[in-house]
A and B are shown apart, each in its own frame.
Chain A
């Protein structure tokens, strides 16, 4: 079997098999970054497969809420994972996998947002029209209004504010991880978060 035929279900099965090589690994539902590093010493390809299973969803949704366009979010999250595969230091002891992945994803999102803003200026196309099409079930309808307001308010913010808010309050990254992701000091993270929160509050009030 081709090693790359390891899709979601196969991948998770393989992850379980591989986790047996790590003490206490089987009990855990999700493999941690440190476990990925020790797994990579045994088999790099499998460690990478596990990394994909762990990060593909958070990266995709981070990109999706940044860009509000599904195709772009797929491209961005896949590109981040491809770059991770090519990164030689990925499983080094001192390498911060999570921060690195979010940094690459965020930067790619910023690039796309910048270029689409240029296009938008030329064509004056509303990004709202290109919102991801999500099947409207009964459960979702109740949340749609809040979600819509929240997304509208987030869209009003500058890119940097939007990304830092998503990293902290959607992805639950710690302040230190955000500092690593955005390559800035902890104090800068606090001040940027404060400013972003002020703007979001203002934007939410305007929406209401």
Chain B
């Protein structure tokens, strides 16, 4: 038997927990191998822990032990009922319930109340107010025609950025921004 295998057999051998056939092999090896013999000697005799008592407490002690134990279980169970709600499974149930509520209540409330009216600014044209705008900004070559509802079809044409006229500067005031600016 190689020494490596012996290391696993030594303790059961010393504890007398080896089968009869194995004992003979170990004994044979120990006779011939001083190294393993030394290890076996260093392990010493089987420790006798029988001096440590098995039961030195009264029945009263054990009754109290049981009572406290079952109280602990009961209180832990109550706690776990609450924590179960917040567990993965519990959260799944809660989120499903929320999703169902959302899916039912939201459409139901929309149907019952109807869509809310959009906020609109009053259209002056609807109220009979008419604009009669004359062309402005006679500064450059290009002028902008704002067609009033009276004069023509309501199709205002907006100038492109290239066509956009330079700001009208009168007495160093830019009316576009209504702030004092330097001379252009």
List the interface of chain A (C-beta within 8 A of B).
Answer: 4-9, 11, 52, 56-57, 60-61, 65, 74, 78-79, 81-82, 85-86, 134, 140, 143, 146-147, 150-151, 165-166, 168-170, 175, 186-187, 190-191, 193-194, 197-198, 200-201
- Knowing A60-B65, A82-B76, the reply to whether A191 touches B70 (Cβ < 8 A) is no
How close is A7's CB to chain B, nearest CB, in angstroms? Answer: 5
A194/B39 in contact, CB under 8 A: yes
A86/B43 in contact, CB under 8 A: no
List the interface of chain B (C-beta within 8 A of A).
Answer: 7-8, 10-12, 15, 17, 39, 42-44, 46-49, 51-56, 59, 62-63, 65-74, 76, 80
A86/B44 in contact, CB under 8 A: no
Closest to B54 in A: A61
A82/B73 in contact, CB under 8 A: yes
Pick from B10, B44, B51, B66: contact of A8, CB under 8 Å:
B66
- Knowing A56-B65, A170-B52, the reply to whether A190 touches B74 (Cβ < 8 A) is no
Pick from B10, B39, B49, B56: contact of A165, CB under 8 Å:
B49
B43/A194 in contact, CB under 8 A: yes
What separation, in Å, do the CA atoms of A194 and B41 have in the docked complex? 11
What separation, in Å, do the CA atoms of A9 and B62 have in the docked complex? 10
- Knowing A147-B52, A200-B44, the reply to whether A193 touches B11 (Cβ < 8 A) is yes
Residues of B within 8 A of A169 (CB): 46-49
Residues of B within 8 A of A82 (CB): 69, 72-73, 76
A86/B7 in contact, CB under 8 A: no
A150/B51 in contact, CB under 8 A: yes
B43/A198 in contact, CB under 8 A: yes
Q: List 19 A-B contacts (CB under 8 A).
A: A4-B71, A4-B73, A5-B70, A8-B62, A9-B63, A56-B69, A57-B62, A78-B69, A85-B73, A150-B49, A150-B52, A169-B46, A169-B48, A175-B11, A186-B8, A190-B8, A190-B11, A197-B11, A198-B44
B73/A194 in contact, CB under 8 A: no
Residues of B within 8 A of A60 (CB): 65
Known A8-B62, A190-B8; 13 more pairs at CB < 8 Å = A4-B74, A6-B70, A9-B59, A9-B63, A57-B55, A82-B73, A86-B80, A150-B49, A150-B52, A175-B17, A194-B7, A198-B44, A201-B43
Residues of B within 8 A of A198 (CB): 42-44
B42/A7 in contact, CB under 8 A: no
- Knowing A190-B10, A194-B11, the reply to whether A7 touches B51 (Cβ < 8 A) is no
Most buried by A among B49, B63, B74: B49
